[in-house]
Amino acid sequence: MKQSMLPISLFVIVLSFQFWCSSCQTRDQKDSLNFSRNDTISVIQTALEDAKLDSIFKMAFPGKELKLVRNNYVKSDYKVIYRGKQTLIVNYDSSYYYPSNDPKAARFFGVVNLFKRISKDQAKVVLLFHGIGVVADFHVDRVDEKWQISKRVLGRF
């Protein structure tokens, strides 16, 4: 009798563990749900308007207009304003597929590589600019109903 109970007990334990893991996964998915559309756009726009990042852009892309690549974080109908103009949302980053060592030929494409909700009033956004090999990692906080950068890390890849 004891031997026949062992497989059933193991089955129940495995099933319980699987249920527990899937419930944790659901909770993690809820924690990482996107903000509202307006908050998502505002967080991305806040990161793009960073003065230190903009100083890199002014040197690398003088007079060029930014294009954002559509993905899970940036939808084709988003209206992101950069330097007073609406950015184009495109399907791919041609500088990724056709890299150039000539900085004058660099294409001004940005990719939102990561957008993560940390809490109700905090987010993390990582931007990649393949044309110049720059990565920008931002922590953004909502303060008085406005998004502000609380931490930035700029680097090269």
Reading the block at residue 118, the tokens are 């940390």
Q: pLDDT tens digit string along 20-52?
A: 444 444 433 443 455 789 999 999 999 999 999
Q: Does residue 37 sit in helix, strand or coil?
A: helix
Q: What is the reported pLDDT for 130?
A: 86
Rounded (5°) CA angle 43-47-52? 160
Q: What is the reported pLDDT for 127?
A: 97
Q: pLDDT tens digit string along 88-131?
A: 999 988 776 665 555 555 678 899 999 999 999 999 999 999 88
pTM score above 0.75: no
DSSP codes joined into one string, 83-100: TTEEPEEES--HHHHS--
Q: pLDDT tens digit string along 68-83?
A: 999 999 999 999 999 8
Nearest to 150 by CA among 123, 110, 130: 123
* Mean of per-residue pLDDT scores for the chain: 80
* pLDDT above 70 coverage of the chain, percent: 71
Q: What is the reported pLDDT for 98?
A: 61
